[in-house]
Chain A
């Protein structure tokens, strides 16, 4: 996981976008908490800049 985060940082993406959690299928509450935390983290970081660029290019193409 640390290696994958390092790869993202080198590229210029926030490593915080990636995380790994260990939990069993019996931990529904914990799963919901993690999902909420990661959703909040993603909101704070904003949209994936790579997607933004792809969308921008698509729109330009359509417009042309």
Chain B
């Protein structure tokens, strides 16, 4: 899922400093599941801002609303009255949601309350680890289902490098980050597919990734 973390309260306070009526707009999809921007987090941030701005002697009117998916116009329409009534909107969605609301309601500025940090897997309660960098040219079939783009510090395609020590990556070694190329080797060995590591492959096509500029998918069969 898309994961995000709330920005420090001080940063959010600075962003809303010039506004009087502020709407905290949550999103009920990815950021709800990763406990960053759902209804509950909206309520907590709203309470914090009410108290903090009152203590600062500049109390603001803080309102709350959470839509099902902030990256789609149809859902944001349900918050239209709240959005139009506010001086400023603090979005607790990922960067897609923030931009969608800005685009849909251009007369209002919507600022981000979260830092969006990746496509991650919840590996245990309260822990999210990046698993995909959306490179646009998936190679998981060649690497035993483990992504070296997202999980290798250097995004190497011909690992492991010399920094792989006893299965641990030298980058952030204190966090005991596994070397994904060590994992790939062992996985392919278990699958009896070690020959895949010996294959000479042409360079990966990075055009579908960021090198080609902003990416766009058009499905003619779905268009109206």
> Which residues of A line the B interface, CB within 8 A?
7, 10-13, 49-50, 53-54
Q: Chain B residues with Cβ under 8 A from A11's Cβ?
A: 9, 48, 51-52, 55
Q: Chain A residues with Cβ under 8 A from B51's Cβ?
A: 11-13, 50
Q: Mark B45-69, 1 if CB is under 8 A from A, else 0.
A: 0001001101111010000000000
Chain A at the B interface: SS class: helix
Q: How far is the CB of B224 from chain A (nearest CB, A)?
A: 45
17 pairs, CB–CB < 8 Å, chain A vs chain B: A7-B48, A10-B9, A11-B9, A11-B48, A11-B51, A11-B52, A12-B51, A12-B52, A12-B55, A12-B56, A13-B51, A13-B55, A49-B55, A50-B55, A53-B57, A53-B59, A54-B54
A7 to B9, CA, bound (A): 9
Q: Chain B residues with Cβ under 8 A from A54's Cβ?
A: 54
Q: Can you name the residue of chain A whose Cβ is closest to the Cβ of B59?
A: A53
Q: Are B54 and A50 in contact (CB under 8 A)?
A: yes
Q: Are B9 and A53 in contact (CB under 8 A)?
A: no
Q: Chain A residues with Cβ under 8 A from B10's Cβ?
A: 10
Does B161 sit within 8 A of A, measured CB to CB? no
Q: Chain A residues with Cβ under 8 A from B55's Cβ?
A: 11-13, 49-50, 53
Does B44 sit within 8 A of A, measured CB to CB? yes
Q: Chain A residues with Cβ under 8 A from B44's Cβ?
A: 7
Q: How far is the CB of A32 from chain B (nearest CB, A)?
A: 31
Q: How far is the CB of A22 from chain B (nearest CB, A)?
A: 22
Q: Chain A residues with Cβ under 8 A from B8's Cβ?
A: 10
Q: Are B54 and A10 in contact (CB under 8 A)?
A: no
Q: How far is the CB of B184 from chain A (nearest CB, A)?
A: 37
Inter-chain pairs besides A11-B48, A12-B55, 10 sampled, C-beta below 8 Å = A7-B48, A10-B10, A10-B48, A11-B51, A11-B52, A12-B51, A12-B56, A13-B55, A50-B51, A53-B55
